[in-house]
Amino acid sequence: MTKLAGEALVAGHGAGPILRIDHPISFWGGVDPKTARISDPRHPRHGERLTGRVVAIAELRGSSSSSAVLLELIHAGIAPAAILLRETDAILALGALVAREMGYGDLAMVKMSQRDFSLLSEGRHAHVEGPRVALD
Amino acid sequence: MHLNDDERRIADGAEGPAAAMAMRLVAETGRLLGARRLLPIASAHVDGCLYHGDSGTYFAERLATDGGHVVVPTTLNVGALDLLHPERVKGDAHHREMSLRMMRAYEQLGCRPTWTCAPYQAGHRPAKGSDVAWGESNAVAFCNSVLGARTNRYGDFLDVACALVGRAPDYGLHRPENRRATVVVDASGLSAALCNADVFYPVLGTWLGAEIGAEVAAIVGLPPGQSEDRLKALGAAAASAGAVGLFHVVGSTPEASTLAQATQEGTTRTIRLTGEMVRTARDRLSTAGDGAVDCIALGSPHFSEAEVAALRRLAAGKRFRIPVYVCTRRDLVEKSDLSDLEAAGAVIVVDTCVVVTPILPVSGGTLMTNSGKFAHYGPANLGYDVVYGSLEDCVASAVAGRVVREERVWQ
């Protein structure tokens, strides 16, 4: 087991297999809020479903409505198990913060260092607890 | 993060539960971003009024029933309905009802029902150097770059939260030192014809978004005094293709009278644009080639008076064989007679746009546009193939019923 620690952008816990997204992605226009699948046909991970996975996102881009898409995923019970980022993203974190205010639950969001992010390989099982990330 | 006495009082509920929740969201986000304090803001533009699902409606209604009211002038971005032409939206009854509830909740909070992604062309123009909290990526890019007012990219929820408390976290583009260009993009190697063509600017924006992202660029080598609509198109495309919140165009934007002003005399790296780089960026905007086209979509961001006038000149005496959707502001439609465009076959859409709301036939097909933003989001949001071209190309294609594009300007 590999134990890593990042910065808890939004406190929470969750576990699941890693879905690694290296190509920049926008939640709005890039993730279908009804199915939690990557919906942009030009994205290399098109068709992958975020639900229940620890989603490692190298770079977010685009619309300021991405927080609304994340809130909708959490409200609908089809959110990722946790989200690991390489950069702080206030837009995405806000979706999780509003979910907490509205009583929909906590989604853990952790910012990782460059080095630790590179260890997040596709399919590896990850447990996220606050700032800590353990890889099986 | 330090809250002053007044801010702490609001967070503790002295102004009611809606203001308290708003202050918590603003402060918590500020903490995440490493801000040490909050700033007073002069205005807000709220993007959160577009329906993405029931959760957003519940959030707005919670604020409204908890007694929330904006404390600074606040405009609203597009909603998911065309309130002037409700029959044009194909969404099911649930979608319509929840969208309308959401739009009404934001009005109840005291926001102005402008319903446009180009509020800066509907009279909302904060002063240069003022701090504001704007949402919607194109509006943010325009506000920072073209107006010189200072905002970060405020996402849904944070935009209205800032409006409800009149504060925003002091970080990012609110701070003058972060507005400095760190990369110079030199367009002087491109042809004069290309730099004088409207069709170039969304492509330049697409390149900028994809290659530069959140860094601040200063673009040099373009003719000075670029029009507001070109800068709007550049920014919208840049903010779709990447996390661009601010760019400078030397000789055209207010913080870039000179390159030295844009870079604050700091160090930079330089990228020289070539015709090949531009053509590659252009080709990324299309998923289909020359051939059949089913409709034209114009107006992302919403068409301005000048853009409507340009379309009218091109369309005079013509008849479109396919629908031409023209997305624009309701205040423009309310003071203009657009019957000549409608007679030619244009479908005027207000309060929303065809990429965020189901207006196009669900059968799919190929859409042609002069908007980098429509081209970027069209395939995923609509399931349509996209062909990118100039406004002239779009009108010629609408008349011919197949894709007609002028290639010469790109050579």
How do residues B104-155 score in pLDDT, each as one tens digit? Answer: 999 999 999 999 999 999 999 999 999 999 999 999 999 999 999 999 988 8
Q: Which CATH number fits domain B286-410: 3.30.499.10, 1.10.1740.10, 3.30.1360.10, 3.10.20.30?
A: 3.30.499.10
Contacts of A34 in chain B (CB under 8 A): 53
Q: Which fold has domain B5-172?
A: Aconitase; domain 3 (3.30.499)
ipTM for this model:
0.90
Q: What is the reported pLDDT for A106?
A: 93
Whether B52 and chain A come into contact, CB under 8 Å, resolves to: yes
A61 has a pLDDT exceeding 80: no
- Domains of chain A are 2-135 (3.50.30.10)
Q: What is the reported pLDDT for A62?
A: 57
Average pLDDT, chain B: 96
How close does chain B come to A2, measured CA to CA in Å?
26
From the list B32, B47, B241, which residue is nearest A9 (CB)?
B32
Contact A34 B53 (CB under 8 A): yes
- Chain B 118-137, residues with CB within 8 Å of chain A CB atoms: 135-137
Predicted TM-score (pTM) of the model is: 0.90
Contacts of B379 in chain A (CB under 8 A): 40-42
Contact B55 A75 (CB under 8 A): yes
Segments making up each domain of chain B, as ranges: 5-172, 180-283, 286-410
Whether B153 and chain A come into contact, CB under 8 Å, resolves to: yes
Contact A91 B153 (CB under 8 A): yes
What is the mean predicted confidence (pLDDT) over A2-14?
95
Q: What is the reported pLDDT for A63?
A: 64
Contact B213 A59 (CB under 8 A): yes
User: Which residues of A are tagged catalytic?
Assistant: 63
How close does chain A come to B344, measured CA to CA in Å?
32
How close does chain B come to A75, measured CA to CA in Å?
6
Sheet with B385-388, edge to edge strand ranges: B346-350, B324-328, B295-303, B366-369, B385-388
